[in-house]
Each structure stands twice: as structure tokens, then as C-alpha cells.
Amino acid sequence: MITKRIENNLQFVKLHTYRKNCNCNFNISSFIPKKDQCTAYKAEKKKELEEYNRHLQEKEKSREEKLRDKELIFEEFVVACYDLQAVMTIPNGEASTFYYKSKINCLNFTICELGIDQTECHFWDESDGQRGANEIGTCVLRFLQKKSAESILDMDCVFYSDNCCGQQKNEFIIGMYIYAVKNLKFKSITHKFLIRGHTQNEGDAAYSIIEKEIRKTKQSCSIYVPAQYVTAIRNSKKCGNPFDVNGLSYADFTDIKNLSSVSLKKNVNGEVVKLSDIKVIRIEKTANNDIQIFYKTSYFDNNYKEIALQRNFQRICDQQNLKSLYQKKIKISERKKNYIQILINANLIPQFYHSYYNNILKE
């Protein structure tokens, strides 16, 4: 187009003029999609369109239920949401060498108690724990134990989270809830899973504040050890209650899979139960101190369905088998060890922090 106008001795608009007019005179910019864009479905066919509409209705219903639960909060009714933050790495800084090396992963699991502006953070690195059901279950159990110790009366607790099967939507976390209802001051624990593709919650706001503080920290110095992340998280919230940060070591994790065993295969009507379809699951303690488990596969269900429990279930969940998950630090991969050693030899990790890395390298 420009070549033609030159050939015809005509003027043409230069790129900087075009940009100035679009941005300043017409206030035109690229479209920025809303945060809550659904990625779960592509409605191309009629059947898919019906599923998509149902999906959106479930999303709205789940959010309405969450708002209603928040209005019901009082001393004996606890509502919280939990999630695992995106992995943070060490060492982390502006040095380009850090970018190309495989680093140590650090994990931050948060539990936001709604209605009282209280957020607990549980922080560890990959030499102390992984990010599976045992680690997540340990953090949630610590929260439940703390609430139980603070309360005089038995409580009801409602949790909200995403649908990650490896971390919280599995039989081991349900087994942990059973243990808590059976042995702590809880009448019931209900877990409501937010709709896939629409799992935004109060934890995301906490992560945004934390990430902003970490970026600010990195402007002044690199982050070499987990303690620097812990300090940044503690200092990140400027208004309201600060984040309560608990640094965890390998000795703090409990073998959640050893607490209880539960089969979720069928309900009392003989219907097959698929854990992936469950939207709400509720563990209740009866007047006889027995356990019942109920579930819903839709937020629109008016009534719960009851899960059929095996005969020896009540005896199994009576066992108080709180055993340690790890006996020593976890070995990191040889590849990571080699990369860390290269950074130490190149003096890219200051001498002051060598003791932390030496403890990892010798495992």
C-alpha cells in the first residue's frame, strides 16, 4: 500500500501517526479478555451447546451458594477456601544464568477463612515435601486441628476448592475429613468443588498480593533461600490482618493415606458413584458418633445421596494413625544437584547461603 502511494506521488500515514491517533484520539486498543473466560467447553454443536449452558448455570449456582455460606458464618460455622500457589523457584533473580538452570521448587499452600479476613500460608520446598494429597491433607488437617483447639462447641466446616484429583478431590482427603469429624470438634465437614474453568476464589487475590511483593523484593536483591520468600509473604499484605505463614519441614507432614480407608463405589440405592462427577461431598457425625457420607453431583440437587459404607468402616475410621510421612529430607534429582553445584562454583550463589544448599546436595 505504501509503495503504491509513493509511485503515485501521494502522501501516506506513518506508523507512529497511526498509533498516536488510535491510542490518543480514538482510545482504541487491543481487546483484553475478561478474567473469567470459560475454557472448559467449545460449543460447536447442539449437544455441546446444551452442556455448555448447563456448565454456566452450575457456575452461577456454585457462586450463589458460596455467597450464601459466607452470610451464614458465625463462631460454630467455618467457611474457607484453599489452593496451592504456582511454583516459586530458588535461586531466583535477574542473572540470566538462573533462567537456564533447573532450580529448587518452593510451594505455598493457602487457606483463606472467609468472613474474618484470615489467611494461613503453609510454605515448604521440594526437599521437605512434594505437592500431593499427603502434603495438602496435612495442611488442611493442621487448620482443622487449630480450629478445634480454639473452639468449645462442635463446629460445621465448609471448604471450597478447585477439582484437582491429585491434590484434594480424592479418597485420601475424604479419609482425612472422616478422621477430623470422628476425632476433632466437628459435627460435619462439607467440601464444595468450584466448577471447572471458573475456580477463581479469595486465594487468587492473596496470590496476587504475594507475587507483587516478590517482584518488589527481586528488584533489590535475588532470592536464594526459602526464608526470603517467607519474609516476602509475611510483609506482602499492607492492610488488614497479615498473612499467617507456617514454614514446614519434612518432619511436619503426616501420612494422610494411613488415616482412614473409604470406598466411594456405590450409594445406598446401588448406583455407581463417580468421584469426578461429585460437586459437593459432606461428612457427618451421627448422635451415636458414627460417620455418614453424602454427596451431590449438581448444585441444583435439592437432596443429598448417601454413600454405602463397608461393614468395617466405623472401626477403620476409629484408628488414630497419625504417622510421619517422611523420616528425612527428600532427595532432589541429580540434574538439579549438578546445576546447583555449577551456580555455587561460579559464585552466583553467595557464600552466606551455601549451608542451605549443602544440606540438600549431601542427601
**Domain map of the chain by residue range?**
54-361
Three-class DSSP labels, 266-289 = EECCCCECCHHHCCEEEEEECCCC
| Comparison of pLDDT for 283 and 36, the residue scoring more | 283
3-state secondary structure of 345: helix
3-state secondary structure of 294: strand
Q: What is the mean pLDDT of the chain?
A: 85
pLDDT of residue 310: 76
Query: Rounded distance, CA 301 to CA 134, Å?
Result: 31
3-state secondary structure of 255: coil
Average pLDDT estimate for 229-240 = 91
Query: Rounded distance, CA 149 to CA 322, Å?
Result: 17
pLDDT of residue 293: 93
Span of 14-23, 54-63, 103-112, 346-355 with lowest mean pLDDT: 14-23
Query: Rounded distance, CA 281 to CA 295, Å?
Result: 4
Flag whether pLDDT at 274 surpasses 60. Answer: yes
pLDDT of residue 45: 57
pLDDT of residue 231: 94
Query: Rounded distance, CA 251 to CA 138, Å?
Result: 11
Contact yes or no for 332/363 (Cβ under 8 A): yes
Average pLDDT estimate for 323-332 = 91
pLDDT of residue 53: 85
Helices and strands, number each (H, E), in the chain: 11, 10
Residue 26 banded pLDDT, cuts 50, 70, 90:
low
**Which alpha helices (DSSP H) does the chain contain, by range?**
2-7, 15-20, 46-71, 96-99, 133-150, 171-183, 202-220, 226-236, 313-316, 334-345, 354-361
Q: Which of 356, 176, 336, 329 is nearest to 248 (CA)?
A: 329
**168-220 pLDDT tens trace:** 888 899 989 999 998 899 999 999 999 888 888 888 899 999 999 999 988 88
Query: Rounded distance, CA 120 to CA 124, Å?
Result: 13
Q: Percent of the chain scored above 70 by pLDDT?
A: 86
Cα separation values, 344 from 78, 157, 335, Å? 47, 47, 14
What is the end-to-end Cα distance of the chain in Å, rounded?
A: 66
**66-116 pLDDT tens trace:** 999 888 888 889 999 999 999 999 888 877 777 777 889 999 999 999 988
pLDDT of residue 220: 84
